[in-house]
Amino acid sequence: MTSVTEPTVESRLIAKGDVEYEQYRAGIWNRDVPVRYPEFILRVRSVRDVVDGLNLARERGWRVTVRGGGHNWFGTSLRDGGLLLDLGEMRELVSIDTDLREAVIEPALTGRDLARKLEPHGLAFPVGHCATVPLSGYLLNGGFGWNSLAWGPACFSVRSLDIVTPNGDVITASPEENSDWYWAARGGGHGFFGVVVRYRIGLFPLPKAITTSTCVFPLSRIREVSDWAAALRGGLPKHVELTVILGNVPGILTGGDARLSRAVVVTATSFSDGEEEARATLASLTEPPVDTGCQRKILNDATPYEALSGLGAELWPENFRYRSDNFWHNESLGTVLPRLAGPATEAPERSFFLCLPVPPPDPAVPPPDTAFSMIGPTFVACYAVWKDPKSDGAAKEWYARSTHTLETGSIGHYIGEADIELHPERARRSFSPAAWKRLDELRKRYDPSRRFSGFYGEP
């Protein structure tokens, strides 16, 4: 009987110069692919592959970066030299326990696929607004997604993780064991010093009624709209997510009216236990003040998870070129948004700003102790979105002006979408001073040889 030998990890390395190298190097969401070239790429399929890949890197003295699915706007896993460990084929939902309300997932499973698989069980998870984002990088960055004001950032619901360490050991991290690793993996971003190969996550009952109301306004009324939206947030419960989008917005938000594409759009999505409750919580959007010049209202629209996925697909379409940055502000929407009137009017192609007001934390319920530690009353993200490489200069010039405007008064950033490439200092500003200090100390303790490349821009 002839035995079949499993190919070694070494035999499956893709080297710079190989025919398929560019296909996998450029396998990221953003079509504005960075000009950076790892020496080798290894597409792993199992925990054993990850262990073997790290052991090989250690033997050969390679530094390692990890790609969970390639959705980071700047391709932070793409570095010159070393080994790129690509987890893209590890995308299984391993198990669901409906009694414990938990699931075990592999790193490259997308938020959309997780939501689809949980729905028949009446369960949900705060997946990302862009449904095609794989869960690995999303959870490592903190995971500020759908209904996060009520459910918390997604990393708060990570109950344990299986991690491959720089030495090739497989450990489980939880509050009870390897707690340093558990702390760092919940929000440490691409500065994390291991490879998470499985997540055990806590789930939530699927809301019986997910309903959205939308109001569309001309950009010329941005000051009146921002004051109204700021006041509106104060009267809404946490299970209603209020968002303001301004610039070039897709037809899915304006009711298909192309004339309203350059606009200010206020949306409120209620994650409720029934339609009556949803209507009651969204009632305050029914009659915006006259001086806001509301042009269109779409009220109490049923918005199941699949529809939420469709919204994300319209805002962040495939095969486009992107730049992205974000800012936490201590100021209210009424102060921050009027500064964006000019940039929003000039937004190229499908570019826009997304703004999210956050209610103050409940002092009686302290947040979990995690690396995710930067948050403020107002979150504003800038997305330059364009198609043609010939428009790179104009799009990036608009982006630079817009983000410079938003820097005034900023207290920090969300590590998952901060422009670390142009501004490496954003990494430090994505954490509280205490969290940054602890994260740095843990990286030195558990990865003293710097096997993992760490935050982009570090030596």
What token pair was written down for 341? 């009137």
Shared-domain flag, residues 199 and 179: yes
Give pLDDT, residue 259. Answer: 64
> Is residue 438 one of the residues assigned to a domain?
no
pTM score, two decimals?
0.95
Helix (H, G, I), strand (E, B) or coil at 33: coil
Residue 454 lies in a domain: no
Same domain, 97 and 165: yes
Sorted by sequence, the CB contacts under 8 Å of residue 192 that are 6+ apart come out as 140, 184, 185, 452
Give the whole-angstrom CA distance, residue 233 versus residue 240.
9
- Between CA 204 and CA 330 the distance in angstroms is 30
**Residue 218 placed within a domain:** yes
The total of structural domains in the chain comes to 3
If you ran DSSP here, which 8-state letter would residue 428 be given? G
The answer to the question of residue 448 being in a domain is no
Range of the domain at 240: 209-429
DSSP-derived pairing of the beta strands 93-97 and 102-105 = antiparallel
Q: Which of 390, 415, 351, 2 is nearest to 187 (CA)?
A: 415
The answer to whether residues 76 and 105 belong to one domain is no
Residue 35 lies in a domain: yes
Are 101 and 34 within one domain?
Answer: no
Q: Report the pLDDT value the prediction gives residue 3, as an integer from 0 to 100.
A: 41
pLDDT in tens, 119-140: 999 999 999 999 899 999 999 9
The Cα 8–Cα 49 span in angstroms is: 9
Residues of the chain short of pLDDT 50, as ranges, are 1-5
Last-in-domain residue among 171, 189, 205: 205
Same domain, residue pair 197 and 213: no
Q: Are 221 and 156 in a shared domain?
A: no
Per-residue pLDDT at 258: 66
Query: Hey, what amino acid is at 301?
Result: D
| 75 vs 27: CA distance, rounded Å | 9
Considering the domain boundaries, does residue 456 fall inside one? no
Same-domain check for residues 218 and 201? no
3-state SS class at 51: helix
CATH of the domain at 56: 3.30.43.10
Give the Å distances, CA to CA, from 389 to 249, 345, 348, 396: 21, 22, 13, 11
Residues 113 and 52 reside in one and the same domain? no
415 lies in some domain: yes
User: Per DSSP, what are the bridge partners of residue 158?
Assistant: 201
Do 32 and 72 have their domain in common? yes
* Tens digit of each residue's pLDDT (9 = 90 or more) over 252-272: 888 777 666 899 999 999 999
CA 336, CA 408: separation in Å to the nearest integer? 9
Same domain for 257 and 301?
yes
| Whole-angstrom distance, CA of residue 54 vs CA of residue 442 | 19
Residue 297 lies in a domain: yes
Q: CA–CA separation, 199 vs 137, rounded Å? A: 12
CATH number at residue 117: 3.30.465.10
Are 243 and 215 within 8 A, CB to CB? no
Q: Domain end: 205, 232, 251, which one?
A: 205
Last residue of a domain, one of 185, 205, 225: 205
Q: Are residues 276 and 146 in the same domain?
A: no
Residue-wise burial string across 383-407, b where 16 or more C-beta atoms lie within 10 A, e elsewhere: bbbbeeeeeeeebbebbbebbebbe
107 and 35 in one domain? no
pLDDT at 143: 95
Give φ, ψ of 324 to 5 degrees.
Answer: -145, 140
Check residue 69 and give its pLDDT.
Answer: 87
Structure tokens at 255: 């009711």
Q: Under a CB-based contact definition with an 8 Å cutoff, are residues 132 and 29 in contact?
A: yes
